[in-house]
Amino acid sequence: MEFSALLTSAGINIALCILYLSLYSILRKQPHNFRVYFGRRLAEEKFREQVDYFSFERLLPTAGWLVKAYWCTEDEIRRVAGLDSVVFLRLFIFSIRIFSITTLICVFGVLPVNYNGQEMAHTRVPAESLNVFTIANLKEGSSKLWVHCTALYVITISACILLFQDSAERAYRKFVRVKLSAFDQNMRSSLNRCGLCGVQASSFELYRNKFVEAKKSDLTDPEVVEAQKDCPGAIVFFKTRYAAIVASQVLQSSNPMLWVTNLAPEPRDVYWSNLWIPYRQIWLRKIATLAASVFFMFVFIVPVAFVQSMMQLEQLKQMFPNLRGALKTSFCVRVVTGYLPSVVLLLSLYTVPPLMMRFSAIEGSISRSGRKTSACTKILIFNIWNVFFVNVLSGSVLNQLNVLTRPKDMPSMLAELVPKQATFFMTYVLTSGWFSLCSEILQVYNLVYNFFRKFICCYQDEPEYVYSFPYHTEVPKVLMFNVLGFTFSIMAPLILPFLLVYFCLGYLVYRNQILNVYYPKYEMGGKLWPIMHNTMVFSLVLTQIIALGVFTIKKAPISTGFTILLLIGTILFNEYCRQRFSRIFNSFSAQDFIELDREDEQSGRMREIHEHLLDAYCQSPPGSADEIPMEMIMEDPAQEASNSSQELCDTVQEVAGSIIQEHIEERHGSSSGRR
Amino acid sequence: MEFSALLTSAGINIALCILYLSLYSILRKQPHNFRVYFGRRLAEEKFREQVDYFSFERLLPTAGWLVKAYWCTEDEIRRVAGLDSVVFLRLFIFSIRIFSITTLICVFGVLPVNYNGQEMAHTRVPAESLNVFTIANLKEGSSKLWVHCTALYVITISACILLFQDSAERAYRKFVRVKLSAFDQNMRSSLNRCGLCGVQASSFELYRNKFVEAKKSDLTDPEVVEAQKDCPGAIVFFKTRYAAIVASQVLQSSNPMLWVTNLAPEPRDVYWSNLWIPYRQIWLRKIATLAASVFFMFVFIVPVAFVQSMMQLEQLKQMFPNLRGALKTSFCVRVVTGYLPSVVLLLSLYTVPPLMMRFSAIEGSISRSGRKTSACTKILIFNIWNVFFVNVLSGSVLNQLNVLTRPKDMPSMLAELVPKQATFFMTYVLTSGWFSLCSEILQVYNLVYNFFRKFICCYQDEPEYVYSFPYHTEVPKVLMFNVLGFTFSIMAPLILPFLLVYFCLGYLVYRNQILNVYYPKYEMGGKLWPIMHNTMVFSLVLTQIIALGVFTIKKAPISTGFTILLLIGTILFNEYCRQRFSRIFNSFSAQDFIELDREDEQSGRMREIHEHLLDAYCQSPPGSADEIPMEMIMEDPAQEASNSSQELCDTVQEVAGSIIQEHIEERHGSSSGRR
């Protein structure tokens, strides 16, 4: 592809973007679209629908929304949309910062070196092949490779500093403060399960009284044993958060599959239809979904290969002989080779998120946030493999698999192929990146649905459903562009300005959407940050590996040595971060919980919290007319104020232990030495 | 090598074995050797030295000790030598069982198939090349490969059943019961450290009173803060085991490197000189020792390559031209090619354990058992790499490293090379295996040392030192033979009878040594079992991968398919075991600890235990004259019987929290929002 083709593509996309954004600024002002563009505000009922008077201004595109989105503070966003939005927007801030630095260095430092890499007569820039701007243009043994090596050092060190400083610890402190509602405790026993049909609301029963009586009298009461048998899971309440965290983090029984305890997800976050799954099935389910995901990942190579074949004009002519006429026009050629392939790829990628979400549900997570996090990881890996690797390692499917089995040849192979695919990824950023932002802000699907509902079907009532933010599709998308940015930074710096525009526009668009459209139904508690962190480190390592390959091919031993040093440093940095931060994202610390408990005690809120425990966990949304009464196994600590939390914890264990023991003896007819 | 050379080697070794064992049965009857052969019994002073009367019987070899070793019950062994000995002997029982089955199947099923694999005129068996007995003798596309596939299935399934049934859970139950002394709790803070010199006994101080007072009055007392600053680690005592396990398993602070809690090793198990190491150094130390171990592993290829070259007669003649004369004798040739190489390898392997033990000490484990476990893993991986892989992948060093980078070619390469090296490994079993048993029972080094001490230097006093069992050298050795047994089982079944003899003899010899010689100084708590389990599964998977290679080379697609199924099954089995058992080997369950606590309470031992806490942790052995008084930071729960363990735990945390907070504020001059 020539530079002019790239400009054509960029031109089309800039025009489309301006069109879409103007359209948005007009459409959002129409009162009948408020349901589409101000879903969150309407859900919170702070935003009253204005009187539907007509003014000419409503038909003029304006940029006021951009200004509003930009000036909103982070605290306000956290208040209205939760910690996850803040984490998500921090990803954009990180990206904008690191790619500002990268763009500066690579466009003004690396790009001229690439362009003047070989002694050749340069034609006019627009007619220049894009390969001239990549590292492929440099001669073997070029003395200018130290520029690339230095750029790599600057990028890596900046990224590490930014990753370590703008995020993990601060996010965590907020995370604890926000999760004030996490005073509950979920204990899951996989001793029995009530069939394969999933648990209906009516299948829960209130065992409190039975257990409280049983504790004081006869633990071997057949009624209690029977009750336990029917119950694959239970939510147990503790008086303090500290007691709950102790019960969740301590290994309960010497068979770790018999009694599994986790902190309960917050009420709205519980994924009720997975609560029945016995723990002993979960590892098998995880392996099965992993296998299915991997299988799907490789099957997906077929559409990607089709996209690849569209890039080659000759192959295209062979496949569709009757298009030959049209393909003779230079403009058509540019559109077909520069624009269509990534649209096809984009459309076929739309099938991935629902499927991965399905896989993650089958996996057995008991919280919606867990399911979303798992789907997010799957989609991310899928994207990196199918968008990045398969496109780079173009060729037959067998060829691609072959690379996996020869890791040693990987760096040099990537080094040779990555610069060649720079063109494709530039257009990918333009179409997939910019275009996805536009369609995100326009909410095309909802707009059309709303239109048909209101004006064709003439429904007058407002639809009840408000969407929650689709982190599982948006996070992988943004991370994918980060991967592209890092890997292409020193290979083909021309991609960087387009990316920077994407991140800046994305920051504004998503701020606007978070503030106006999406309603956070549950808190994920910053669980996405480790995924982001790991992907960043992965991109850095991948970039360094590719650079290693380039330096080896171009015969620059000193640069190779320095890159190996940098690689080791990056891995050590990651290991340190893992040691330092990974545990706090998976569990809470006793210190924080004790502090929160004390605050509650001092403020006198304890009594109130205990009273609200009873109706906290409810399968239908609270406040709705047909509210189902609280039906689950629980120990209500407020009722037994004389027992310390320690004792309560003991009791739960004792009750359970005895019942399990009873059950074992019943089954095997043997009597073990335990009481 | 011919079959007769193997017989020569076997003959030499059998003769040596009988000689050594007879010698042992005579030497053990000499009273002046009692210190060497009955160290444990003397240490326990149950074995009174008999009057030194002379009888002719003392000079006759007898087999009574074998009978005694055989008839001792497992309970007795556990009582006198701890759980680890039982686990170690269970490894032998497992090996004997599985290799009885394997030998039966492979010698009577697989061996004849191999021998008749090609239509050829067989010469007399003694003059037959050993290759005839291996799978290499089978033709391509042979229809008899299903025999090998079936044998592989039988071996894998038997091994999995034996691994799952004779060990993990039962071992664990015992493990908990035995560890009655584990009521202590070690908390290590890495906030400060007292220099790089290691902690002397005198640098510990008794902070109890300070802390107990401080809790009730002023936590910000500068004296307490000062005390905390000097203290890199502390041992904290709790009233109940349950409280200790809660404190050890719950994440204490939101910076996981600030407050690290572990269950304290039992008093004799504490590795005092590592207590000062701040936790934030430990991950770096681990990475550094890992790098050093890997480096040493590859450096060691040099002596192994030397051993390899000795196997090739022609190369040997080139290296040592003046040996040409001697090498013409057929007997000499047999000795040099069949016996010497493995002796050289054996001797050079003696340098490995001390070095790996050093590495593990540097790694920073706070318990002796942790250090030994880590050394054991290192030595095992070292042996598998340097004894198995390097010998199999013989050739230049570069060649060997090349294989690592092309994992896809690994199966077929191994399949081609493993049968070729069968000869070497057979002689390795004879020399390294049998010979090491003989030298183990004879205790040559101690015998000579004792002799010189008594008769040359004329010392009359008995040396005080009794050795503890060297699990870190013996376990890898035995596991190495398991790896060899599994991998060669269907490739070259001729190795199996030699191995079976090794395991049977080893079982008796080690039982004898455990009963008479070694004195268990500390309990490792069955920590070695996971290593054994993982090695077994690794061997099975390796065997299957090699078999895959063989079936691919020999063009047996059906067998290949079935082997892939078996491989997946084995990996699933391992995953299940990991889910089911891995956690209980790393931590205790609350249920068990609560039961133990109750038992103590009911038996009225509580008071007594609390009183003994004070002198439980002491750097010099208890009972010795120069006992250093108990000097460490502690909360003595017996002194404050009114506080519940929960409160105690809170208090420790509170004290620490405040101090840390104080410290942070002092350092940074900032005041955070915390109390």
DSSP string, B542-594: HHHHHHHHHHHHTT-HHHHHHHHHHHHHHHHHHHHHHHHHHHHHHS--HHHHH
Q: Torsions phi, psi of A184, nearest 5?
A: -110, 170
B311-320: pLDDT as tens digits: 666 666 776 6
CA distance A341 to A320: 15
**Could A591 and B252 be called an inter-chain contact, meaning their C-beta atoms sit closer than 8 Å?**
yes
The angle formed by the CA atoms of residues B587, B590 and B595, to the nearest 5 degrees, is 120
Question: Do the domain assignments include residue A394?
Answer: no
CA distance A162 to B266: 44
Average pLDDT for B479-505: 92
pLDDT at B348 over 90: no
* Residue in B646, B648, B649, B670 to test binding to A, most A beta-carbons within 10 Å: B646
Q: What's the full length of chain B, in residues?
A: 675
Looking at beta carbons, which residues of chain B come within 8 Å of A675? Answer: 595
CA distance A637 to A236: 10
Looking at beta carbons, which residues of chain A come within 8 Å of B674? Answer: 595
Alpha-carbon distance B640 to nearest alpha carbon in chain A (angstroms): 18
CA distances from A630 to A188, A230, A617, A627 (A): 18, 18, 7, 9
Q: Are B260 and B247 in contact (CB under 8 A)?
A: no
User: What pLDDT was estimated at residue B145?
Assistant: 86
User: What pLDDT was estimated at residue B306?
Assistant: 73
Question: Do the domain assignments include residue B28?
Answer: yes
Question: Do the domain assignments include residue A87?
Answer: yes
Residue A3 identity: F
Residue B497 identity: P
Looking at beta carbons, which residues of chain A come within 8 Å of B259? Answer: 591
Looking at beta carbons, which residues of chain A come within 8 Å of B251? Answer: 249, 583-584, 587-590
β-strand B184-189 against B259-263: which pairing, if any? antiparallel
User: What pLDDT was estimated at residue B528?
Assistant: 85
With residue A188 as reference, give the H or E element that holds it.
strand A184-189
Which carries the bigger pLDDT value, residue B196 or residue A510?
A510
Looking at beta carbons, which residues of chain B come within 8 Å of A644? Answer: 644, 646
CA distances from A377 to A92, A529, A537, B175, B317 (A): 18, 11, 15, 39, 61
CA distance A203 to A197: 11
Residue A350 burial by CB count (10 A; 0-12/13-18/19+): exposed, middle or buried? Answer: exposed
B443-476: pLDDT as tens digits: 888 888 888 877 777 776 665 567 888 898 899 9
> Tokens 């790829």, residue?
A345
Closest CA to A68 of A28, A101, A103, A102: A28
Question: Do the domain assignments include residue A474?
Answer: yes
Q: Measure the N-to-C terminal CA separation of chain A; round to a whole number of Å.
A: 79
Scanning every residue of chain B, which has its alpha carbon at the shortest distance from the alpha carbon of A243? B646
Copy the structure tokens of residue B292.
Answer: 């050093």
Q: Are B21 and B440 in contact (CB under 8 A)?
A: no
* Residue in B174, B239, B252, B254 to test binding to A, most A beta-carbons within 10 Å: B254
Question: Do the domain assignments include residue A576?
Answer: yes
Looking at beta carbons, which residues of chain A come within 8 Å of B579? Answer: 256-257, 283
- H helices, E strands: number in chain A: 31, 3
Q: Are B630 and B617 in contact (CB under 8 A)?
A: yes
Looking at beta carbons, which residues of chain A come within 8 Å of B406? Answer: 405-406, 408
Question: Do the domain assignments include residue A191?
Answer: no
Looking at beta carbons, which residues of chain B come within 8 Å of A645? Answer: 646
Alpha-carbon distance B339 to nearest alpha carbon in chain A (angstroms): 38
Report the phi/psi class of residue A658: left, alpha or beta, with left for phi > 0 and alpha for psi in -120 to 50: alpha
Looking at beta carbons, which residues of chain B come within 8 Å of A251? Answer: 249, 583-584, 587-590
- H helices, E strands: number in chain B: 31, 3
Q: How confident is the model at residue B68 (pLDDT cuts 50, 70, 90)?
A: confident
Helix (H, G, I), strand (E, B) or coil at B186: strand
β-strand A259-263 against B233-237: which pairing, if any? unpaired
Residue B113 identity: V
| CA dihedral for A415, A416, A417, A422, sign (positive or negative) | positive
User: What pLDDT was estimated at residue A314?
Assistant: 67
A346-401: pLDDT as tens digits: 777 788 899 999 999 998 888 888 899 999 999 999 989 888 887 787 655 556 66
Looking at beta carbons, which residues of chain B come within 8 Å of A590? Answer: 250-253, 653
Gyration radius from chain A CA atoms: 29
Query: For residue A530, how many other CB atoms are within 10 A of its CB?
Result: 19
Q: Torsions phi, psi of B260, nearest 5?
A: -115, 125
User: What pLDDT was estimated at residue B30?
Assistant: 81
**Could A595 and B255 be called an inter-chain contact, meaning their C-beta atoms sit closer than 8 Å?**
no
pLDDT at B549 over 70: yes
Copy the structure tokens of residue B531.
Answer: 């290593």
**Could B675 and A595 be called an inter-chain contact, meaning their C-beta atoms sit closer than 8 Å?**
yes
CA distances from A241 to A175, A637, B534 (A): 15, 12, 38
Alpha-carbon distance A165 to nearest alpha carbon in chain B (angstroms): 15
> Tokens 């569990």, residue?
A587
Give percent of chain B above pLDDT 70. 71
Q: Which residues of chain A have pLDDT under 70?
A: 1, 45-55, 167-233, 308, 310-316, 319-320, 323-328, 337-339, 342, 394-405, 460-465, 613-675
Residue B521 belongs to what domain range? 3-173+414-588
A185-213: pLDDT as tens digits: 333 333 222 222 223 333 334 444 444 44
* Residue in A571, A646, A660, A674 to test binding to B, most B beta-carbons within 10 Å: A646
Question: Do the domain assignments include residue A633?
Answer: no
Beta-ladder partners of A366: none
> Tokens 């020193």, residue?
A490
Task: Determine the distance from the C-alpha atom of residue B143 to the mean position of all C-alpha atoms in its chain, rounded to a whole number.
Answer: 42
Question: Which of A583, A646, A657 is opposite residue B591, by nearest beta carbon?
Answer: A657
**Could B254 and A653 be called an inter-chain contact, meaning their C-beta atoms sit closer than 8 Å?**
no
Question: Which of A249, A572, A575 is opposite residue B250, by nearest beta carbon?
Answer: A249
CA distance B348 to A562: 36
pLDDT at B225 over 60: no
Looking at beta carbons, which residues of chain A come within 8 Å of B589? Answer: 251-254, 256
DSSP B261: E
Question: Do the domain assignments include residue A238?
Answer: no
Alpha-carbon distance A378 to nearest alpha carbon in chain B (angstroms): 21
With residue A426 as reference, give the H or E element that holds it.
helix A422-428
Scanning every residue of chain B, which has its alpha carbon at the shortest distance from the alpha carbon of A654? B591
Copy the structure tokens of residue B45.
Answer: 């002073």
Helix (H, G, I), strand (E, B) or coil at A260: strand
User: What pLDDT was estimated at residue B104?
Assistant: 93
Question: Which of B249, B251, B653 is opposite residue A594, by nearest beta carbon?
Answer: B653
Q: How confident is the model at residue B291 (pLDDT cuts 50, 70, 90)?
A: very high
User: What pLDDT was estimated at residue B132?
Assistant: 80
Alpha-carbon distance A432 to nearest alpha carbon in chain B (angstroms): 36
pLDDT at B661 over 60: no
* Residue in A178, A565, A589, A602 to test binding to B, most B beta-carbons within 10 Å: A589
Which value does ipTM take for this structure? 0.75
Scanning every residue of chain B, which has its alpha carbon at the shortest distance from the alpha carbon of A258? B580
Average pLDDT for B146-175: 78
Scanning every residue of chain A, which has its alpha carbon at the shortest distance from the alpha carbon of B655? A591
pLDDT at B4 over 70: yes
User: What pLDDT was estimated at residue A510?
Assistant: 92
Range from A244-258, B216-230, B305-319, B570-584 that averages highest in pLDDT = B570-584
> How many domains, in total, are found in chain B?
1
CA distance A527 to A83: 10
Closest CA to B617 of B367, B374, B248, B281: B367
Closest CA to A191 of A226, A222, A216: A226
pLDDT at B418 over 80: yes
Q: Are A341 and A310 in contact (CB under 8 A)?
A: yes
Beta-ladder partners of A234: A187
Q: Specify the pTM.
A: 0.80
B384-404: pLDDT as tens digits: 988 888 778 765 555 666 666
CA distances from A640 to A218, A387, A535 (A): 19, 58, 48
Q: Are A30 and A447 in contact (CB under 8 A)?
A: no
CA distance A464 to A466: 7
User: What pLDDT was estimated at residue A506?
Assistant: 93
Which carries the bigger pLDDT value, residue A369 or residue B142?
A369
**Could B256 and A657 be called an inter-chain contact, meaning their C-beta atoms sit closer than 8 Å?**
no
Which carries the bigger pLDDT value, residue B196 or residue B135?
B135
Looking at beta carbons, which residues of chain A come within 8 Å of B405? Answer: 406-408
Question: Which of B176, B594, B657 is opposite residue A591, by nearest beta carbon?
Answer: B657
* Pairs of CB atoms within 8 A across A/B: 118
Scanning every residue of chain B, which has its alpha carbon at the shortest distance from the alpha carbon of A598? B675
CA distances from B317 to B6, B308, B320, B397 (A): 21, 14, 5, 22
User: What pLDDT was estimated at residue A102?
Assistant: 94
Question: Which of A250, A259, A657 is opposite residue B245, by nearest beta carbon?
Answer: A250
Q: Are A587 and B251 in contact (CB under 8 A)?
A: yes
SS3 content of chain B, % helix, strand, coil (to 5): 70, 5, 25
Alpha-carbon distance B246 to nearest alpha carbon in chain A (angstroms): 6
CA distance B672 to A510: 32
Scanning every residue of chain B, which has its alpha carbon at the shortest distance from the alpha carbon of A653? B591
DSSP B38: -
Question: Which of A250, A646, A657 is opposite residue B249, by nearest beta carbon?
Answer: A250
CA distance A596 to A590: 10
Looking at beta carbons, which residues of chain B come within 8 Å of A172? Answer: 254
Copy the structure tokens of residue A405.
Answer: 């089995």
